[in-house]
C-alpha cells in the first residue's frame, strides 16, 4: 500500500461516513465491462464540486489490491452485480491527484518528474526484481513490468487538467505534461499494460490543432455525458445539506474565471448573453474550442468553456446554449457588472417584468439597439 501505487480505501471511507452519501457505485458496472478493451480509456469531465474526486476514490477503493473493501461495498448497488467479487481489490492501481502534486513537486514544471520518481519508487517495492535501477520513465517502467510479469495496471488521474487550466501560459509545463500523458496512454505499447484508464477534470482532453492529444479516450462531458450521466453530479438533498440556500456558483473558483471571459466581448458574445438572460437559447459551435484557456479566440470558444464550467446548459440535439436556472442567471448578471455594458444592465433592470411575459426577438433587437 502506497501513496500513489495501490492506495488504501480511506479516502472513499470519508465519503461513506458523511451525513449524505449518494450511491454512485453503478459506475463500476460499466468500468468492469470495459476492462482490458479499447473502451477502457475514459475521461469524465464536469464542473467543480460535481463529485468527480469521490468517484475516482470509489474506483480506487474497489480495484486496488492495497486494501480489502468488500464490507465497504456490501450495501451499495455494485454488490448486486454478478462480477462484483471477480474484480474486487484484484488490480495494481496507480492513483494520481495532479492538483495535490503541484505543491510537493515544487511547481508545475516539476510535476512530471515528481510523479515519475515517486511512483517508480513505490513500484519497486512490489516488483523489486523487474525494474532496472536506471529506469526514470513511468511509461517505460509499466512496460517493463508487463513484459516480465504480464501484469496490467489501472490508472486513475484526478484533476488531470489542472496544468492545462492553471498553467495556461506555461508552454513548457504543458508540453512536458501532454508528452507524459501520451507516453502513458497513446499507441500500441500502453494497450499491453493498461487495464483501465480513468481521468477526471473540468476540461475534456486538450486538442492540438483539430485533433485530441489523446484521441483514444472516450470522453463524457457536459456536452455529451452519455451513459455516465447518472454517476457524476449532485442532488437537491446534497445542495440543501445545511437546510439553507447558498449560491453554489459564486463560491467556486470558476466564478472568477468567467468575468474576464465575458469582458473579452468577442463579436456576438454580448448579443448571445443578452438573449440567454432573456430566456432564449443561442447556437454554439463547440468544435472550435481547443479545451484550454489560452486559445480562446471567439464567442463560441467562450460559450463552450462556460458550458464546461457549468454556467451554461447545452442542448445536444439543437446544439444550443442556455441559462439553466434563475440562480445562474443572477450570477451571470453579477459577473457582467464589472464592465459598463449599459444596454445589458438596463435590459436586466427590466428583466423581471420581461420574464413574466413572452419576450420575442423584436424585444431583444430593441434592447440591442440601445447605445
153/123 Cα distance (integer angstroms): 11
232/44 Cα distance (integer angstroms): 8
Stronger pLDDT, 267 or 152, i.e. the higher one: 152
pTM as predicted: 0.77
Is the distance from CB of 120 to CB of 131 less than 8 angstroms? Answer: yes
**Range in 80-84, 111-115, 207-211 the model is least confident about:** 207-211
**Range in 129-133, 152-156, 231-235, 318-322 the model is least confident about:** 231-235
Q: Is the confidence at residue 259, as pLDDT, over 80?
A: no
The mean pLDDT value for 85-98 works out to: 97
DSSP conformational letter for 297 = -
* Pairing label, strands 282-283, 320-322: antiparallel
CB-count burial class (<10 Å; 0-12, 13-18, 19+) for 303: buried
The per-residue pLDDT of the chain, averaged, comes to 84
Is the distance from CB of 234 to CB of 58 less than 8 angstroms? Answer: no
The mean pLDDT value for 111-121 works out to: 97
DSSP string, 39-104: T-EEEEE--TTSSHHHHHHHHHHHHBTTS--HHHHTTSGGGGSTTHHHHTT-BEEEEEEHHHHHHH
pLDDT at residue number 8: 96
Amino acid at each position: 500500500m502506497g501513496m500513489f501505487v495501490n492506495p488504501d480505501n480511506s479516502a472513499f471511507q470519508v465519503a461513506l461516513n458523511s451525513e449524505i452519501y449518494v450511491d454512485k457505485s453503478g459506475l463500476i458496472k460499466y468500468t468492469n465491462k470495459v476492462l482490458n478493451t479499447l473502451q477502457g480509456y475514459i475521461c469524465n469531465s464536469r464542473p467543480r464540486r460535481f463529485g468527480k474526486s469521490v468517484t475516482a476514490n470509489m474506483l480506487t477503493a474497489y480495484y486496488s489490491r492495497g486494501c480489502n473493501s468488500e464490507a465497504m461495498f456490501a450495501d451499495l448497488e455494485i454488490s448486486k452485480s454478478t462480477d462484483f467479487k471477480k474484480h474486487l481489490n484484484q488490480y495494481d492501481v496507480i492513483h494520481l491527484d495532479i492538483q495535490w502534486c503541484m505543491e510537493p513537486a515544487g511547481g508545475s514544471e516539476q510535476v512530471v518528474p515528481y510523479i515519475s520518481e515517486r511512483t517508480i519508487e513505490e513500484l519497486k517495492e512490489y516488483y523489486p526484481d523487474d525494474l532496472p535501477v536506471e529506469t526514470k520513465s513511468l511509461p517505460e517502467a509499466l512496460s517493463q513490468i508487463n513484459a516480465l510479469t504480464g501484469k496490467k495496471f489501472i490508472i486513475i488521474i484526478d484533476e488531470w487538467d489542472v496544468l492545462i487550466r492553471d498553467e495556461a501560459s506555461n508552454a513548457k509545463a504543458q508540453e512536458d505534461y501532454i508528452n507524459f500523458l501520451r507516453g502513458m496512454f497513446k499507441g500500441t505499447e500502453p494497450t499491453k499494460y493498461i487495464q483501465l484508464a480513468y481521468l477526471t477534470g473540468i476540461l475534456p482532453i486538450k486538442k492540438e490543432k483539430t485533433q485530441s492529444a489523446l484521441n483514444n479516450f472516450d470522453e463524457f462531458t457536459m456536452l455529451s455525458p452519455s451513459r455516465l450521466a447518472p454517476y457524476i453530479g449532485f442532488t437537491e438533498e446534497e445542495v440543501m445539506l445545511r437546510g439553507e440556500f447558498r449560491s453554489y456558483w459564486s463560491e467556486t473558483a470558476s466564478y472568477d474565471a468567467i468575468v474576464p471571459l465575458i469582458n473579452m466581448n468577442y463579436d456576438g458574445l454580448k448579443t448571445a448573453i443578452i438573449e440567454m438572460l432573456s430566456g432564449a437559447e443561442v447556437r454554439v459551435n463547440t468544435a472550435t474550442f481547443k479545451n484550454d484557456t489560452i486559445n480562446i479566440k471567439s464567442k463560441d470558444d467562450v460559450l463552450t468553456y462556460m458550458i464546461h464550467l457549468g454556467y451554461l446548459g447545452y442542448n445536444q440535439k439543437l446544439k444550443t446554449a442556455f441559462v439553466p436556472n434563475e440562480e445562474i442567471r443572477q450570477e451571470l448578471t453579477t459577473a457582467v457588472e464589472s464592465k459598463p455594458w449599459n444596454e445589458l444592465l438596463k435590459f436586466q433592470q427590466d428583466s423581471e417584468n420581461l420574464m413574466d411575459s413572452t419576450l420575442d426577438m423584436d424585444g431583444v433587437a430593441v434592447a440591442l439597439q440601445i447605445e
